[in-house]
Amino acid sequence: MNNKLKGTLYALLCVAFWALLPVVAKIGQSTLDNHQFLFWSSLVSFIVTAVTVIISGKTKFILQYTVKEWLWFSFLGLLGTYIYYLFLYLGYLKATGMEVLVIQYTWPILIVVFSIFILNERLTYKKMLAVCLCFTGVLLVLTKGHIANVSINNPSVIALVAFGAACFALFSVLSKKVEKEPLGVVAVYFLVACVASLVSMLCFSEFAFPSQGEVPAILVNGIIVNGFSYIFWVLALKSTEASYLAPFTFITPILSAFYLIVFFNEPFLPAYGMGLAFVVLGGLINTLNISRTRLKKNKNLCNI
């Protein structure tokens, strides 16, 4: 299996897991606020990843980290597992879900932008076309085909969600430079998120236990939506170009719509099918672009 195919499979697993986020955030914050929900989710994610590290015998890699590496991984953890989710959960708690989803999925677009300046990846017109098609598909689904109806009712909260999305895009790009064993690094990310969310909960909220109905959502969020998905995402980023993976993430809100249909009996609309078509088309354009480039390189090598 080549690196591009492995990266694609890892990214698709992340997409399937991440799509559950609106559902678990809605159920898990019925009595908890965003600080409390983030703490309990981060705690579960840390326990799961830490136990996995111990069972797989990779603890020795963590013990070999230098102080500089601990500081760097802590910074990445604050970006991708604390700030991003703190503001995202706030958005689902305080703002309109459709608005939050639209702003949330600006991070794949920002990945393409950051990759140009940080990773020196080439920006081609086909990549830009792929991103535009995918984002159009997202808008079609989230607005149910009436794009002009999007309006911002809570601009301050939406601005924080946008800042969190930028932080996650930066986290994704910078994570590509991490060369350590990914499982241990992800465990450190969630350790940082757990500590940071505990401090923010005690400073800006109060300690509270989840209700019985919120526990399943916290477990799903901590184990699947956040925990293992981060491992797959880091593996995907290490396998292929970040800008190649970005359009695939636009499938997530499409799946979120289907999950909402299943869990909350929301009706299926033609706009959902149109949106999915735009997303698939964008992903195919981006994939074919890279495949043709590699094919040309292989032909040139054969001629040599």
pLDDT given for residue 1 in this prediction: 58
CB within 8 A of 51, min separation 6: which ones?
none
CA distance 12 to 32: 30
Q: What is the DSSP letter of 32?
A: S
The whole domain housing 234 covers 3-303
Helices first, then strands: H and E counts in the chain = 16, 0
CB 212 within 8 A of CB 271: no
127, 112 in Cβ contact below 8 A? yes
The predicted pLDDT at position 188 comes to 92
Q: Kindly give, in sequence order, each residue whose CB lies less than 8 Å from that of residue 269, ignoring residues fewer than 6 positions away.
A: 144, 145
Overall number of domains in the chain: 1
Tokens for 212? 């019985």
Q: Is 168 exposed, middle or buried (0-12, 13-18, 19+ CB in 10 A)?
A: buried
Taking alpha carbons only, the member of 170, 200, 171 closest to residue 90 is 200
Please report, in tens digits, the pLDDT of each residue of the chain (304 residues total): 577 788 888 888 888 888 888 889 888 998 999 999 999 999 999 999 899 889 888 888 888 889 999 999 999 999 999 999 999 999 888 877 767 777 787 787 788 778 878 877 777 777 778 778 877 877 776 677 776 666 566 788 888 988 998 999 899 888 877 788 878 888 999 999 999 999 999 999 999 999 999 999 999 999 988 878 877 887 887 788 776 776 777 778 778 777 777 776 766 678 767 876 776 677 667 656 544 444 444 444 334 4
Q: What is the pLDDT of residue 289?
A: 52
Tokens of 215: 């526990």
Q: What are phi and psi of 119, to 5 degrees?
A: -100, 0
How many of the other CB atoms lie within 10 Å of CB of 304?
Answer: 5
